[in-house]
Structure 1
Amino acid sequence: MIKNVIFDIGNVLADFAWEQLFHRLGFEGETFEHMADATVRGPYWQEFDRGAMSDQEIVEGFYSLAPKYKKQIDLFYEHIHEMTEEYPYAAEWVRSLRAEGYSVYILSNYGKTSFENRKEPFSFLAEADGSLISYEVLSVKPEREIYQALEERYSITPQESVFIDDLEVNVEAARNYGYSGIIFKSRDQAEEELKKLNLIK
């Protein structure tokens, strides 16, 4: 029997809108591509989410991948907390699931600097029963350790839980760890799959 719904944040409860931020900062064409490869599409982004490296070490890593774009990297890092915009439905969706009797948790890869420096906290966090962000435990999805940390923090049994994430690799990992899993494409699609699990009416 499913008792817990576990949500990712980016592209599930909030728009990971790095492209829009790049455009706002004036990164276009070749600059856009080099900056993306050095930052959000590069290897240091996962380490940013992991939280084991300092901000300076992360920025130096970005520099190493795009040494001609140090000025743009600095500008990007100044605005890094502006990348994610909460979806209008997010808090209401969490509330509706809790009203159905399910516990709702948040499990997300997210860098400390961008998470803690948001102008306004995500409203859905206050609606959920709990959350765990990657930098808190120095582990990122799809690693077993981050799922295990959530289980230990909130006494969650994987076989009683469904995990919703937009990335197939994270959902497949959760399934391997004993969870039910839904690869998120839209709220309507996810709710249809939840219905199949008898989670919502």
Structure 2
Amino acid sequence: MAKINTIIFDLGGVLIDWNPEYVFLKAFNGDKEKTKWFLENICTSDWNENQDGGYPLAKATDDLVRKFPEYEEYIRLFYGEWEDMLGGAIEGTVDAFKQLIDSKAFKIVALTNWSSETFPIAQNRFQFLKWFEGIVVSGDEKTRKPFKEIYNITLNRFNITPEKSIFIDDNLRNIEAARQLGINGIHFKNPEQLKEALKNYQINLS
């Protein structure tokens, strides 16, 4: 196994708690079934990912309102109250990130599926985003995970050797795409599991 010299972090679901349920449970008066149905059938993850790939938020909202006019009030909440979908930092992962930074043994960058229109909100809220050597934001690149292009942009921009890097993401689909390019992957579930998985690469954190 090649010695690891680069760590690539996903952000949402790994370092930052982001969940549309925070907005829609409130909108639907705590009704979990209604919230689940709405997010699986109207404001779906596929729809949101299209904006992560660079599609304008206002246009996406209007498109969906035309398709489902009876849900206009709720559709407009998605980006209208998007900031309330941000929870806090996932502290255990931030702690691991800090230890990796302090070790000075790795190049550490981020690769995130995120709209360029909403990413500045996260940058203002989470100071640890400044610790990265660089962040590849899908909305800026007009492509997103799991498409090969965005991984290649990341590898080339930061002069990363795939076999010497680890990509950490909470979406298995994105990990599998990275592995196709020779990048080592850790499917993130929680901070404790991440620290255990890093031991497989001779990276020991407290």
**How does the TM-score come out when normalised to structure 1?**
0.89
Output the CA distance in 2 between the equivalents of 1:172 and 1:118. Answer: 26
Corresponding residue of 2:38: 35
One of 65, 71, 74 as aligned partner of 1:72: 74
Gaps of 5+ in 1: none
Corresponding residue of 2:176: 172
Q: Give, in angstroms, the shift of residue 30 of structure 1.
A: 6.4
Output the CA distance in 1 between the equivalents of 2:179 and 2:124. Answer: 33
Gaps of 5+ in 2: none
One of 123, 126, 130 as aligned partner of 2:127: 123
Matched, 1:103 2:107: yes
Residues 194, 175 of structure 1: CA spacing in aligned structure 2 closer, same or farther, 3 A cutoff? Answer: same
Matched, 1:22 2:24: yes
Q: After the TM superposition, which residues 129-144 of structure 1 pair with which residues of structure 2 at under 5 Å, given as runs?
A: 129-144=133-148
Output the CA distance in 2 between the equivalents of 1:200 and 1:99. Answer: 13
* Preserved CA contact (<8 Å) 1:38 1:65: no
Q: Give, in angstroms, the shift of residue 67 of structure 1.
A: 2.3
Q: Secondary structure at 2:118's aligned position in 1?
A: helix
Output the CA distance in 1 between the equivalents of 2:71 and 2:108. Answer: 41
Aligned residues: 199
Corresponding residue of 2:149: 145
Q: After the TM superposition, which residues 75-94 of structure 1 pair with which residues of structure 2 at under 5 Å, given as runs?
A: 75-85=77-87, 86-94=89-97
* Preserved CA contact (<8 Å) 1:16 1:83: yes
Corresponding residue of 2:51: 48
Residues 32, 182 of structure 1: CA spacing in aligned structure 2 closer, same or farther, 3 A cutoff? Answer: same
**How does the TM-score come out when normalised to structure 2?**
0.87
Output the CA distance in 1 between the equivalents of 2:203 and 2:5. Answer: 8
Letter in 1 for 2:48: W
Output the CA distance in 2 between the equivalents of 1:89 and 1:150. Answer: 25
Seq. identity, %: 29
Output the CA distance in 2 between the equivalents of 1:55 and 1:109. Answer: 14
Q: Secondary structure at 1:164's aligned position in 2?
A: strand
Output the CA distance in 2 between the equivalents of 1:143 and 1:160. Answer: 21
Letter in 2 for 1:88: E
Corresponding residue of 1:187: 191
Corresponding residue of 2:64: 62
